[in-house]
Amino acid sequence: MIVALACCRAVSAAGAPSQAASDKRATRNVTDETGRRVAIPFSVRHVVTLAPNLTETIYALGLEDKLAGDTSFCDTPPAAKLKPHVGSPQTPSLEAIVALHPDLVLATTSINRAETVDALARLGIAVYTSDPHTVRGMLDSVAGMADLMGASEQGAALVAQLQARLDAVHARIAELPLVHVLFVVWEDPLITIGQNTFIADALRWAGAESAIVAQQNWPQVSIEEVVRLQPEYIVLTSDHSESDAASKPSELENLRTRPAWKALKAVEMGHVVVASDEIDRPSPGLIGAIEQLARELHPEAFALNADGRNLVGAARVQLEMVASACTKKECVSCAL
């Protein structure tokens, strides 16, 4: 407490909540991404993350010294496994969180339960919940979290660098038509993604589009629907147990033995892509997954370097001609 008082700044934000009355440190009020008002200390020294993507973000910002604990699911980077764990993201032990003396807990709507956030807030612990639905939203979250932890500059630098990588991918494939894919979240039963997930947005950045249109986030679909839609590519996610290079042929072989799947044109043609499992996480690693996916789905845009620019330039002229003649709303190239 003496240390805390020593760190206390003279400036005190107005309206610090009553729960934090026992905490003599100066706080500021911020609104988190779910619209909750949170009083956060000016200097955050111990943070606990409740989801793998948040842990990864902390490491990407170089703030791992402040990370007091994470969940048993946090495996990226490998060093995160050595931090004290507070349980799984969905059923963390609140006591274990208290025991780590956090002055900030980071949560996310994509895996944590609202009940956990409520209960921590009741204890007077500052919880900031992120709620990214898009790739840009993820970048904003990263910047926001960096700001909370007094690392705005690192945050801005990281976001700028990630944005530059996204722009580089975009420059190569922007003029190409979107590839229709089936994104497989789960094989049996077949679960895919809805339009409002950040994965759907990540696919668009990688020059692809989910063949299945659904308002639900994780819709279960019948294989018949997939046969009817005939997606150009099947996108699976990799397991940690297998390396990406080894898993692709085996996944393809696996699909070729399954009755309904082997009849799909994409499977026949070997258009099966195994995405890095980073695609499942709204964290900085997502950009790497987008780059890899874009490369696999649009090899032609990445195969050419110096000449490629000319080729893309030529394609752009051609597309503009098409676009000017085309009035159909659903035309993908016009939408671009």
- The residue ranges that bind other proteins (CB under 8 A) are 22-23, 34, 72, 85-88, 90-96, 98-99, 101, 109-110, 113-116, 118-119, 122-125, 194, 216-218, 220
- Enter the tokens of residue 25: 């440190």
- Cβ proximity to other proteins, 36 vs 165, nearer residue: 36
Q: Is the peptide bond before 189 cis (omega within 30 degrees of 0)?
A: yes
Q: Quote the least distance from Cβ 112 to other proteins, whole Å.
A: 8
Q: Least Å distance between CB 224 and other proteins?
A: 17
Phi, psi of 196 (to 5 degrees): -95, 10
Report in angstroms how near the CB of residue 44 gets to other proteins at its nearest. 17
* Least distance from other proteins to the Cβ atom of residue 314, Å: 43
Residue closer to other proteins, measured from CB, 133 or 136: 133
CA dihedral 86, 88, 93, 98 (to 10 degrees): 30
Kindly tell me which of 183 and 233 has the beta carbon lying closer to other proteins. 183
Relative to beta strand 272-275, strand 233-237 is: parallel
What letter would DSSP give residue 61?
Answer: T
Which residue pairs from 7-14 have beta carbons closer than 8 angstroms and sit at least 24 positions apart in sequence?
7/43, 7/45, 9/42, 9/43, 11/42, 13/39
Inter-residue contact 208 to 179 (CB < 8 Å): yes
Residue 177 vs 194, nearer CB to other proteins: 194
Question: Closest distance between other proteins and the C-beta of residue 167, in Å?
Answer: 30
Q: Which residues contact 126 (CB under 8 A, 6 or more apart)?
A: 20, 27, 38, 39, 40, 41, 103, 104, 105
Buried-exposed string 220-239: b where 16+ CB fall within 10 A, e elsewhere: ebebeebeeeebbbbbbbbe
Closest CA relative to residue 138, chosen from 47, 199, 214? 199
In the complex with other proteins, which residue's Cβ is closer, 121 or 151? 121
Helix (H, G, I), strand (E, B) or coil at 38: strand
Question: How far is the C-alpha of 282 from the C-alpha of 279, rounded, in Å?
Answer: 8
- Token pair, residue 171, equals 């420059």
User: Of 52 and 92, which CB lies nearer to other proteins in the complex structure?
Assistant: 92
Shortest CB 174 distance to other proteins, Å: 30
Q: Which residue number, 89 or 207, has a Cβ lying nearer to other proteins?
A: 89
Are the C-beta atoms of residues 109 and 130 closer than 8 Å to each other? yes
Minimum gap (Å) between residue 256 Cβ and other proteins = 30
* Cβ pair 235, 289 in contact under 8 A: no
Q: Give the residue with the Cβ less far from other proteins, 86 or 178.
A: 86
- Closest separation between CB of residue 191 and other proteins, Å? 11
Shortest distance, CB of residue 280 to other proteins, whole angstroms?
12
Pick the closer one to other proteins by CB: 96 or 252: 96
